[in-house]
Amino acid sequence: MDLIWKDQKVESGASNMSLPFEINEYTSRQERVFDKLPDSCVLIIPTNDRKNRSNDVGYPFRANSYMLYLCGWEEDEGVFVAHNITGKWETFLFVPPRDTNKEIWEGIRTGVEGAMDWPVMNSDDLGNVEGKITDFIDKTEHVFTISGVSRTIDGIIANNGNVSDPSEILDLMRRIKSPREIEHMKTAARIGSEAHITAMRNAYPGIGEWEIQSFVEGHFLSEMSQWSFPSIIGGGDNGTILHYKLNKSTVSDGELVLVDAGCEVHGYASDITRTWPVNGRFTMPQKEIYEIVLKAELAGINACRAGSEWTAMHKATSEVIAAGLIDLGIVDCSVEEAIGSDFDGPYRNYFMHGTGHFLGLDVHDVGGGRQGDKNKGPVLEPGMVITVEPGLYFGSWRSDVNIPERYSGIGIRIEDDVLVTEGDPVVLSSTCPKEIDEIERIVGIGE
């Protein structure tokens, strides 16, 4: 593929954005997509629509991950378009034009001229997008777009019978991270780890889940980051609710708190879970469960190796969890029977989710199934980043399964972000403590 890029981009002077990757990283991503697309086609990648929160106030805007991946455009309106009508690929970024009246209220825009600093050959007024796209579609045989992202784009292509989804091509690319992407993910994991440590240090018996949340998310903000998903802060029984996010209870002396939180750096997520006693001392029953989960987590991480089947990590964690449940007398059968033929044996009463997921521009990133899913999933390759997050949950509120009194109200999950390499797995979130003695040393000691 032979693309010609302007040596000299127009200085916009207006933009306060800087791209998190070199221009040629974006353009080589674009070229790799183009290589997989047929002759005579147009590719349309819109960013997300804005959503209203109340009256004229919007939810904080977050650009579409495919837009970030191919073009790095973070502003709240824009469409990336490419076509090969002339036999060569040509790329466009349609953006809102400069507009003083709007800029007085909402801030300086990059504008059409400024958009030439982005990795595209042409920029144009967003007002022209419908006419231009219609023209490109008329001159080509295939349309590729991600539908359901932009109402405007969905409307423009609604009557076109030949629309395909490019996400299959993009998702396979996105699941292998480049060195620079890994750097951003390391930064996100570092900030995430620090946030968990800040919460641990500042905890005390009786603390509110919302206060722990404020320590975690306050740290994200102090690093110019933000959460990559709503933080889960579950004290005691609330830790047994997998996606608990009310965060409105206090955590009593003697209780654990499960903190599942991560942040974003240039759109790249971290996703870390730690579970610890708010008074700084594990009880014996808590320790018994914690040690099983930790051992399972380490076994899961160790299984994150190039060439391993997708299910290898879930198998590794499930075997440790099942054996632990049998040792504690919670499940009474062989490890094999406890796991079952399809990870559906009685151990699943207490470990009811998969072991992890891809991580990247989406916190549950694209590119394959989740561990524990029925489908076979991809074989692991260097450059993939995966979460490993086994857990055990003994909700005292559960009446459908046997909850031993000794462990009632205990919910524990431990989650790290792991890079698959040619050699040993690399834990990106390794600075976040998880050994029992490390945690007991840090909880409650203050700043």
Using CB under 5 A, list all residues that contact Mn ion.
271, 387
Give the residue nearest to Mn ion (CB).
Answer: 271
Question: What is the spatial order of strands in the sheet that 79-83 belongs to?
Answer: 122-125, 90-95, 79-83, 41-46, 142-145, 163-164
Give the nearer residue to Mn ion in terms of CB position, either 267 or 345.
267
Which member of 243, 344, 422, 438 is catalytic?
A: 243
The reply to whether 56 belongs to the active site is yes
Q: Kindly report the length of the chain.
A: 447
User: Regarding beta strands 41-46 and 142-145, do their DSSP bridges make them parallel or antiparallel, or are they unpaired?
Assistant: parallel
Q: Which of 271, 297, 416, 417 is catalytic?
A: 271
User: Quick check: is 348 catalytic?
Assistant: no
3-state SS string over the chain?
CCCCCCCCCCCCCCCCCCCCCCHHHHHHHHHHHHHHCCCCEEEEEECCCCCEEECCEECCCCCCHHHHHHCCCCCCCCEEEEECCCCCCEEEEEECCCCHHHHHHHCCCCHHHHHHHCCCCEEEEHHHHHHHHHHHHHCCCEEEECCCCCHHHHHHHCCCCCEECCHHHHHHHHCCCCHHHHHHHHHHHHHHHHHHHHHHHHCCCCCEHHHHHHHHHHHHHHCCCEECCCCEEEEHHHHHCCCCCCCCCECCCCCEEEEEECEEECCEECCEEEEEECCCCCCHHHHHHHHHHHHHHHHHHHCCCCCCCCCHHHHHHHHHHHHHHHHCCCCCCCHHHHHCCCCCCHHHHCCCCCCCCECCCCCCCCCCCCCCCCCCCCCCCCCCEEEECCEEEECCCCCCCCCCHHHCCEEEECEEEEECCCCCCEECCCCCCCCHHHHHHHCCCCC
Determine contact, residues 403/395, Cβ cutoff 8 Å: yes
> Would you call 332 a catalytic residue per the annotation?
no
- CB nearer to Mn ion: pick between 187 and 387: 387
Residue closer to Mn ion by CB (options 255, 362) is 362
The single residue of 389, 407, 416, 417 carrying the catalytic annotation is: 389
Here the tokens at position 365 are 């990133």
**Minimum CB distance to Mn ion, residue 94 (Å):** 35
Instruction: Check if 342 is active-site.
Output: no
Q: Which is nearer to Mn ion, 169 or 272 (CB)?
A: 272
Nearer to Mn ion, 345 or 390 (CB): 390
Shortest distance, position 343 Cβ to Mn ion, whole Å: 18
Comparison of 219 and 353: residue with beta carbon closer to Mn ion: 353
CB-based burial, 47-56: b 16+ in 10 Å, e otherwise:
bbbeeeeeee
Residue 357 catalytic?
Answer: yes
CB of 363 to Mn ion, least distance (A): 7
Residue nearer to Mn ion on the CB measure, 262 or 345: 262
Query: Which residue in 211, 217, 260, 416 is the catalytic one?
Result: 260
Looking at the Cβ atoms of 286 and 387, the one nearer to Mn ion is: 387
Query: Shortest distance, CB of residue 20 to Mn ion, whole angstroms?
Result: 23
Distance of closest approach, residue 434 Cβ to Mn ion, in angstroms: 15
Nearest approach, Cβ of residue 32 and Mn ion (Å): 28
Q: For residue 69, indicate whether it is catalytic.
A: no
The identity of residue 269, as a single letter, is A
Shortest separation between residue 365's beta carbon and Mn ion, angstroms: 10
Shortest distance (Å) from residue 364 CB to Mn ion: 7
Catalytic site residue 138? no
Catalytic residue positions, numbered: 56, 243, 260, 271, 353, 357, 364, 389, 393, 413, 415
